[in-house]
């Protein structure tokens, strides 16, 4: 098992546990002050930061070709996410249902994986 898998897997497990815990606390204690609710709701972002750190550490361990492939994949993912979300924003203006911002991160990650596959094939 690679170091990246351990780091990302640990951060992802922590994220799921903290997320489940924060949801339970917020549901069990609806009378909490708004500041406390906000702090508890944001707790899952701490392991989220660890996930981002695992990605950065993994990029730093890559050779130049792997970094180039990832840069191209990130670029496609960034631009694609912008185009898709912007386009859907226009569609919301003509009556399409509003989407949560929670869709942006999974969309960006999906585009990153897919574009990484295609960008990597170019160098084989």
Q: What pLDDT score was predicted for residue 124? A: 84
pLDDT in tens, 34-71: 999 999 999 999 999 999 999 999 999 999 999 999 99
Per-residue pLDDT tens over the stretch 57-113: 999 999 999 999 999 999 999 999 999 999 999 999 999 999 999 999 999 999 999
* Residue 74 in tokens: 């990130």
The pTM score is 0.80
CA atoms of 108 and 89, how far apart (whole Å): 16
Q: What is the CA radius of gyration of the chain?
A: 18
């Amino acid at each position: 098992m690679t170091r990246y898998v351990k780091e990302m897997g640990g951060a992802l497990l922590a994220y799921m546990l903290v997320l489940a815990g924060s949801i339970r606390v917020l549901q069990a204690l609806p009378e909490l002050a708004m500041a406390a609710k906000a702090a508890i709701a944001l707790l899952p972002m701490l392991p989220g930061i660890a996930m981002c750190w695992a990605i950065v550490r993994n990029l730093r361990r890559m050779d130049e070709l792997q970094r180039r492939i990832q840069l191209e994949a990130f670029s496609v993912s960034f631009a694609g996410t912008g185009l898709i979300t912007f386009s859907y924003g226009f569609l919301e203006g003509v009556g399409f249902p509003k989407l949560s911002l929670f869709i942006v991160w999974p969309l960006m990650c999906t585009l990153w994986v897919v574009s990484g596959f295609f960008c990597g094939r170019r160098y084989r």
